[in-house]
Structure 1
């Protein structure tokens, strides 16, 4: 009997259908090209771009972050969670086997006893049971499809964290080196102004300069001096940020090459259409859409009856001595059908909720793509305009240096007041600080381009993270 039921189930299984919509990629309007044109290199999209800066300290910071960052470890643990959920869902394809053993002492009513029976009496039973749900309507297949998409979305989410982490470490390091340069400028300026103030105090004591001129020099010195604590605080905050990204307590960060010596990375080539597969957040959003689409089928399958095969094989006796002898054998085989009749809209509500979640996932997918296109355009325009601004600022600083030198010469010659020198020095100080900030900002904009475009370099970063983790495990 059980054999016939199994044969019938195997015959019915291929005939089963999967209710619910099959996934079809939505139509996406993709621009043919980026609006900003920059010199690019096609072979750089898949390379570890941070190495183009030529700073071993930055390379080491990224390697450490890929090994120790806690957000990345959380994302990896989330992938393991989805893997376990997929394993659980796949198990529903197969018969579920179980074992049970019973030893009880019973007291039945007199009417329930056989002639010559005794009361109370012992009862022993041991049995293997099996239950197998036949996936006629595709509920298990759709659930498996959703669980697989969840796993792929989790992996894409982990790669999105990897992308963000790498870019954040590089960006924070560039900001730090830019602030270091600004602090260096402020300290050099403060020392220069301190020497000027010393000279003017001597001159004032000898009556060669007025109190007004001495006050102007003192004001200039204090202005440069008060900028130093602000910049020191900014440097400390950026070190704390990098420490967090590295998965460690706040502390000092090793430096490498100065901001002036860093090489700007070449922009990677890539069309907007390639962004759909290169950006992990887009891949994650699409997999979430696939999962939501499959769960519509899971919800709709509840309209239909579930068919399960059940079986039991074991032994039972009132005496332990005869428990494993032939007369004590018991078995059971059958089929179970459970069909909903009156659910008062519960299943319909579940279907509506699943369809609404699918629409949300679709809109989120489209929104993610639009945001990705914007990210690339913003990063490209920031890089292009940042380079233009940097070139103009370099010329401005050179002109301000000439202006400050000439103003000082004219003051020493007695042809102008010291106020002219103060104006020139203030403008030069501000120009140098602005130039250092733009240097860091332009380099960071190039990082944002790689962040926005994604690409095969994520595989290199992933391999680097895996190698670092393996090396750490070996050391332990």
Structure 2
């Protein structure tokens, strides 16, 4: 009998492998999306500065800002939103292991011991105690004839890959947020420096006007106007300090620190504006982690269809028990006490009132929804890049025009003050000209800020240094 059982094992293994090759439900194929040969805004668009190639690795180094270089690496290790996303990814990997375990038999061991006193009158008190025991190994297995378990594994793998892409997207989003906060801080510092220069100029104006007022050569209103102008600039300067503190606090939180723990001294230099090679639209499908998330969600939804269809097929379970049982307990492990059993169970639902057909229909509808979400994400990604390119093109033109405004405003303020000293105009003309210059300088800073921010957004919208090949290790 033993030899017969051994001879049947290879046959049973081959049979299980053969039957295990069947998987009901549709196989996944990524739906096609329409892409243009190039971005519309690339025609005639010239980046601001040269660069060797596309952003790789530490993309923020292209901005040549020491604060970005110091803090950006901390986002991956200390940012709490990234840490949360990483924990979600680890949980998804654990779910894959759980799903894969259903492919294998469950093996356990069961032992028991009983000590009982009999009540039969034929036994004396010395022989009225009976010891018994069992020691059995148990095996149960549900072969994956219809591929339900393997569909579940693929579904969980796709979900884990989506979580991995979500982690990459979260990291990129937080890195972009940090770069944005640093740029805002740098522009704020430049605005502070501009207002400090303006306050110093207004003090000089006020000193000149105060001397003229004491000499009685000007109207008293000129002194009031000059003092009001100085006080207004000082108030605006103080207000910028509040914004600077908020930017510093935001930067600290993005790198996992308590607000106020990071001391950021002012820096006169603004970040450089790098050139960002864009590539072709089709490359975006492999470079955007959020597109990968939508694509993996679509793959998981496809596997759910197969899982729902598998419910139409019977469930087959195999079980076996092998061990020893003896009463009294002495000699439990002897061959004479060897016991075994084997069995199989087949269950099939004959009538369910439409539950299974409804589950299949729901799974197919969910898949269709995921396809629409994927294509919508792709279109949104194309829109993001087109918006960034158009913004950079228009902002470059605006900066050129704004530079001319600044030059004229500076010259106009200088001429107005000279004419005032010559007595040909009143101080209102000087105040208006100087205010015009300040507004022109601030507008110029605003355009520079928008160009830097749109460049950071373009890097993020192109996927940073991420690519879809990062998911291959999970497949």
**TM-score (norm: length of structure 2):** 0.89
What per-residue deviation string (whole Å, max 9, x for no partner) do you get for residues 333-355 of structure 1?
12221212233333233223322
Q: Which residue of 1 aligns with 2:240?
A: 231
Q: Which residue of 1 aligns with 2:39?
A: 34
- From the two aligned structures, give the one with the greater helix fraction: 1
Tell me by how many angstroms 1:392 deviates: 1.6
Q: Which residue of 2 aligns with 1:11?
A: 15
Tell me by how many angstroms 1:253 deviates: 4.4
- Whether the 8 Å CA contact 1:45–1:269 is kept in 2: the answer is no
Residue number among 447, 450, 454 corresponding to 1:445 in the alignment: 454
Map 1:333-412 to 2 at 5 A. 333-412=342-421
Change over 3 Å in CA distance of 1:333–1:233 after alignment to 2: same
* Cα distance in structure 2, aligned partners of 1:109 and 1:97: 38
1:94 and 2:104 aligned: yes
Cα RMSD of the aligned pairs, angstroms, is 2.4
Poorly superposed stretches of 4+, deviation over 6 Å: 106-110
Change over 3 Å in CA distance of 1:311–1:439 after alignment to 2: same
Map 1:85-124 to 2 at 5 A. 85-104=95-114, 122-124=131-133
Tell me by how many angstroms 1:153 deviates: 0.9
* Cα distance in structure 1, aligned partners of 2:225 and 2:233: 13
Change over 3 Å in CA distance of 1:211–1:109 after alignment to 2: farther
Residue number among 281, 284, 292 corresponding to 1:275 in the alignment: 284
* Cα distance in structure 2, aligned partners of 1:337 and 1:218: 95
Q: Which residue of 1 aligns with 2:63?
A: 53
What per-residue deviation string (whole Å, max 9, x for no partner) do you get for residues 122-144 of structure 1?
54222111112111111011111
Residue number among 222, 228, 243 corresponding to 2:231 in the alignment: 222
Change over 3 Å in CA distance of 1:391–1:7 after alignment to 2: same
* Cα distance in structure 2, aligned partners of 1:271 and 1:27: 16
* Cα distance in structure 2, aligned partners of 1:356 and 1:42: 46
* Cα distance in structure 1, aligned partners of 2:313 and 2:369: 26
Q: Secondary structure at the match of 1:10?
A: helix
* Cα distance in structure 2, aligned partners of 1:393 and 1:233: 27
**TM-score (norm: length of structure 1):** 0.88
Q: Which residue of 2 aligns with 1:115?
A: none
1:458 and 2:469 aligned: no
Select between 157-166 and 205-214 the one with higher mean Cα deviation. 205-214
1:266 and 2:283 aligned: no
What per-residue deviation string (whole Å, max 9, x for no partner) do you get for residues 330-378 of structure 1?
1111222121223333323322332222122111111111110111111
Change over 3 Å in CA distance of 1:147–1:106 after alignment to 2: farther
* Cα distance in structure 2, aligned partners of 1:205 and 1:316: 119
* Cα distance in structure 2, aligned partners of 1:120 and 1:399: 113
Map 1:132-171 to 2 at 5 A. 132-171=141-180
- Whether the 8 Å CA contact 1:105–1:123 is kept in 2: the answer is yes
Tell me by how many angstroms 1:119 deviates: 9.2
Select between 9-18 and 396-405 the one with higher mean Cα deviation. 9-18
* Cα distance in structure 1, aligned partners of 2:287 and 2:265: 32
* Cα distance in structure 2, aligned partners of 1:423 and 1:206: 24
Gaps of 5+ in 1: 111-117, 463-476
Change over 3 Å in CA distance of 1:19–1:289 after alignment to 2: same
- Whether the 8 Å CA contact 1:289–1:362 is kept in 2: the answer is yes
Change over 3 Å in CA distance of 1:180–1:109 after alignment to 2: farther
